[in-house]
Structures are given as structure tokens and as C-alpha cells.
A and B are shown apart, each in its own frame.
Chain A
Amino acid sequence: MAVATIETSGLTRSYGEICALKPIDLSVPEGEWLSVMGHSGSGKSTLMNLVGGLDRPTAGALVVGGQDLSTLTEDGLARFRREYVGIIFQQHHLVPYLSALENVMLSQYFHSVPDEAEARHALERVGLGHRLKNRPGELSGGEQQRVCIARAIINSPKLLLGDEPTGNLDHKSTLMVMELLKELRAEERFTVVMVTHNEEVAAWGDRTIYLTDGVLVREERTRS
């Protein structure tokens, strides 16, 4: 059996009186692609933020890549994110005044040293070798998302998080992005946790868990 990349036990996140995530026990083996489904407010983004070290649990244990995230300081979490995690956002969150190449290099800057050749290679891998110098405003939604993917994978993360990565894309771009993620995962062998409310996108994963009102209500294996 593969080593677990993510291990949670009674993981809970509350915001005052509101409990966004009720105690969840979850184990994600290394290299698995886990899809997290649920409606708005179901707690799926909260779960992703906790797993990615962007937020802290109110209670419970959370171990990612062998590190107990609940014991890390703010800066410790930041270091964990840059070393271990790549994040793909629904809104892309590209820096508007930087070119596609520079947006990828920004991630390198915080990780180690900006390396233009590596960043160029990452963009070529996502099919944007011809759009290196273009700024986000000059790229389509699908292209922006591919820059976001290049930025997420540039530091060879062990865990790739996707927060509705295709939520703003049309069907064709969605397929292109999912195909790309599948290829990259096959090459890089990272673990994927992808939040989505799209059944079709969730089906690209190995396993899907369903959250309702912060509770894990169901899970099913989508691939053998």
C-alpha cells in the first residue's frame, strides 16, 4: 500500500459559531488524484486550504507529507507551501504587470532562484512556448489557466491543489486543461487534490469525495 500524502483525523474548521468543516478523517495515498465535490459552502475549499497549509484547523490532526501542519508557524506554513505544494486557482491570480514567463518565475523566486530556462520549459510543457512575453491581459482564460498550471508545477511539488481550476473555462479549454494535468501527473507523479462541482471534471480523478455542509457524506472510486 502506498504511503499516505495526506492524513487527517477529526479535522475541523470553524469560523466563530459556524462550523465550515466538521470532523473529517481522510487519507490520500501518494500519487492519488482526489476529487472533492460539493455545492457552494459545502466546505470543499476549506478542506483544500487546510491541506495546502493556507489555513489552520480548529481541531483535529492534519499531516501532509509527513509534516504535522498544526504545529507549524505562519512562516513555517509558507515554507511548507513553497517546498511541497502547487496551487491552481479558479481565478488564475496572475500578476497583471508580469509576463507569462515572469509569472512562472515569481514562484521560483519564493522557492529558490528564478531560472528563465526552466520557466520557459514549464510554459512549453503547457503549450505556451509562443506566449512567453505576453501579459495575462493578452491571454485567453484557457491560456491564463495554463500559465497558472506552469507556475504551480515549476518547483516540482509533491502535492498539486486545484481550486475549481476549470470553473471559468469553456468545455474545450476544460478538456485541454484536464488532459494537460493528466499528462503532467503521469510525468511528475504528484498527488492531486482537486476541488470541483463539475461531475465530468471530478471523473478525471482516481477517487471522489462528496461534502455537504462540511460533512464527508460519500466517496467513490472513479478509476480502478
Chain B
Amino acid sequence: MNRRRWLLKMMFQALAHRGGRTVLLLAVLAMASSLATALWIVSLSMERRIAEEVRKYGANLVVVPQAARLDVGSGGLNFGSIAEPSYLGQSEVERALSTSGITSERSLHLRGALRYQNADLPAEGVDFAEIRRLFPWWQVKGAWPAAGEAVLGGDLATRLKLKPGDRIELAGTAGPIPLRISGTVSTGGEEDGLLFMALPELQQALGLTGQLSQVRLMVTASGDSLKSAAQSLQRQLPSAKVNEVRQTAHTSEGLLAKVKLLMMLVTAVVLVSAGSSVTGTMSTTVLERSKEIGLMKAIGGTRLEVLLIFCAEAALLGGAGGVAGYLLGSGIAHFITRTVFAASAEFIPWMGAVSLAVSLFLALLGSVGPMVSVFKLDPVRSLRGE
């Protein structure tokens, strides 16, 4: 029989012989690695979930013309002076976005004034499909507009005494624009005082084809990566100003960092406790098996060969604990994410390697002290039972 196979067989028999202690060690290792796995998976799921939640707050990058000097805030609009209009070239923006390699969702905006009943009416041209995707908090009474239709801000509709289904005629620089009001929108922000219509229709009405006042981007990034995305885009658009909308993301990131820290501390405490438990159990095992160790040395086993047998046993336990820990940890993570976040945990195959590494690390680290005893054990004294 091959030496390795024989050793493996002997180790299995040794572990089976000390059934209770083996089960205890396995349980400790599996629990510790499962907790580390579960918390890690939960942490990743939480990160993903929070990123999804943050997306609901809208854009995290806003691009405006350099000269417009517009203030930007979360969910709010602040376009600056209409008296000194400045615009972004739509094609220039499109090109910059594709060459910068930034993964994002976007909405293009053009702000301008149309005449209605001898007064200026603030109007904004948008792509309603983009608006629905990026600004899910928009509550539209009536229907989302089709071609030749518009949505009125709630306050504006009240002031103008207009309601869904009404038809109005606005005047732009390019002539009259007949529109049907398909619905009203209420956001609690300045959108309530604006008229929203299709971007190409407003561009045409204002004679600003291919021009934009603002681009809002929901970049799939956070923290430093958001900053570098902003810098990259800024390089591509030197005539524009790229602003980060970080308030919401910053708060979420701060909260996430604290929760992660808490999880890391809990994991560390569990790992230290588990390590102590492994050390205790392994020490007892070595003490119980001192005659066996003495015998192995007496019949010709070198210190290293005997040590390797015990290390291999610890590694075998660590491996089994790691596999069990991964399965258990994935289950726990699934339960936590479903209960707390009402979402399902991700299946992360590489977490198996993490669980295995944690369990092996614990099993081997916890065995260092007992292994030193194995190494030093004098065969004559141990066979005498001293």
C-alpha cells in the first residue's frame, strides 16, 4: 500500500476512534468558519443591497456646462441663470461617456423657457424612459407622456388650473407647440414647478438641437471609485463641470463601514474563542496519545514524520470543518439576508475557499502548542507514561 494512502487510512481511523473529540473539534471549526462565511456573505449582500437602495436616490454624478455655475444637490435641481445660458453638446457627452469606460445609467436634460399665456413657463426636456428608471420616486398622476404630450409639475398645474387630458399651446423660438397634458408629477422638489416634455421636442422648440443643460449619471461605483469616475469624465469633458452627489452615498457607506467593522470584530472574537477551543482539545488529544507518539518515535519515526501525521490530522479536520462551515455559513447567510433584507443571499463559490482557509488556519494555529509537545516528546518517558 502506498505510504500516503496508508497514512490517510490511519488518520481516519484515529479520528473515528476519538469520535466525541473529533466531532467536537469539527463542530468548533465548522461553527467558526461558518460564521466567518456567513458574515462575509451577508456583508457582500448588504453592500449590494445598499448600492441598490442608494440608486433609488438618483444620480451620483451630475454634469453641467462649466459657465453655468449651477449648484447640485441630491434629488434637487438647480440649473443656474437662464439669462446666461450655457449648454453641453449631446454628441460630445455621448462620446465622452463611451470613451471614459464608465458604467452608468444616465438622463439627459435641457432646461429652457416657453411662452404660455404671455408668460415664461419653465420647461425641461427629458427622456421619460430614463426618468422612470433613474427617479423611481416620481409620482405621476394620470399617465406618463407619449409623443406630443407633457407632464406638469403639481404646483404649476394648480397655478395654471390644468389637469391631465387638457390641451395647451406653448410658444417657442421655432413656433407654436401644441401639447396634451398626460399627467402631473409631484416629487416635493422643484420638479413640481416645471413642465416636462420630450427632450427632442424641447430642443426643437428652443432651436437648441443637440444641446443639453445637464446630464445626470447613476454610476455603478462608490467612494474612491466614484471620485475617479468623476475625474475620468472631467478629463473627457474639459468644457463641463462634473460634480459628485455624495451625501446619500457617503452616509450609506459610513453605515456600511460601521456594520462591516462590527462583523469583523464579532468574527475576530469567534475565531479567537474557536482557536482557544481547538488548542485545548488538541492538547488533551496529544496528552492522551503521548504513548502512541512515543511508540511511533521508538519504532523509528523521526520527530518531523510524527509531527506531520498530527499536522495532517489537524489539516484533515480543518478541511472537513471548512467544507461544513461553507455549507452551514451559506445557509445562515441566506436566512439572515432573507429575514433582515428581504432578499436572497448570493451564492458565492469562492467563499468555499475562504471558509476552508479559515478552518485550516484555525486548526493548524490552534495545534501549534500541542504540536510543539509532539515534536519534543521523549519516547522513553512517554512510553513509561510520564
Contacts and interface: CB of A to CB of B under 8 A. Distances in A.
Interface in A14-33: none
A125 interface: no
A173 interface: no
Contact of A151 (B294, B297, B299, B303): B299
B17 A97 contact: yes
B178 interface: no
A113 B379 contact: no
B291 interface: yes
Contact of A75 (B14, B291, B296, B302): B302
B101 interface: no
Interface in A80-119: 81-83, 85, 87, 89, 91, 93, 95-98, 102, 105-107, 109-111, 113-116
Interface in B268-302: 291-292, 294-302
Contacts of A98: 10, 13
A81 B299 contact: yes
A109 B3 contact: yes
A91 B382 CA distance: 13
Contacts of B343: none
B1 A114 contact: yes
Given A89-B383, A97-B17, A102-B10, A81 B1 contact: no
A54 interface: yes
A141 to B, nearest CB: 17
B98 interface: no
A55 B380 contact: yes
B14 to A, nearest CB: 6
B65 to A, nearest CB: 79
Contacts of B291: 93
Contacts of B302: 74-75, 78-79
Contacts of A91: 383
A114 B13 contact: no
B2 A110 contact: no
B290 to A, nearest CB: 11
Contact of A82 (B2, B3, B299): B299
B348 interface: no
B23 to A, nearest CB: 16
B295 A116 contact: no
Chain B contact residues, majority secondary structure: helix
B358 to A, nearest CB: 29
B11 to A, nearest CB: 10
Nearest to B9: A102
B350 interface: no
Given A93-B295, A96-B17, A109 B6 contact: yes
A54 B380 contact: yes
Contacts of A78: 297, 300-303, 305
B16 interface: yes
B304 interface: yes
A83 B299 CA distance: 9
Contacts of B17: 96-97
A151 B131 CA distance: 83
Among A78, A81, A111: residue with most chain B CB under 10 A: A78
Nearest to B385: A91
A113 B2 CA distance: 7
Contact of B300 (A79, A97, A113): A79
Among B3, B16, B300, B305: residue with most chain A CB under 10 A: B300
B350 to A, nearest CB: 37
A49 interface: yes
Contacts of B7: 109
Contacts of B2: 113
21 contacts: A54-B298, A78-B303, A79-B302, A81-B299, A81-B300, A82-B299, A83-B300, A85-B300, A93-B298, A95-B292, A97-B17, A98-B13, A102-B13, A107-B299, A110-B296, A110-B299, A110-B301, A113-B1, A113-B2, A113-B3, A151-B299
- Shortest beta-carbon contacts, A-B, top 9: A82-B300, A97-B17, A75-B302, A110-B300, A114-B6, A78-B302, A81-B300, A110-B301, A93-B295
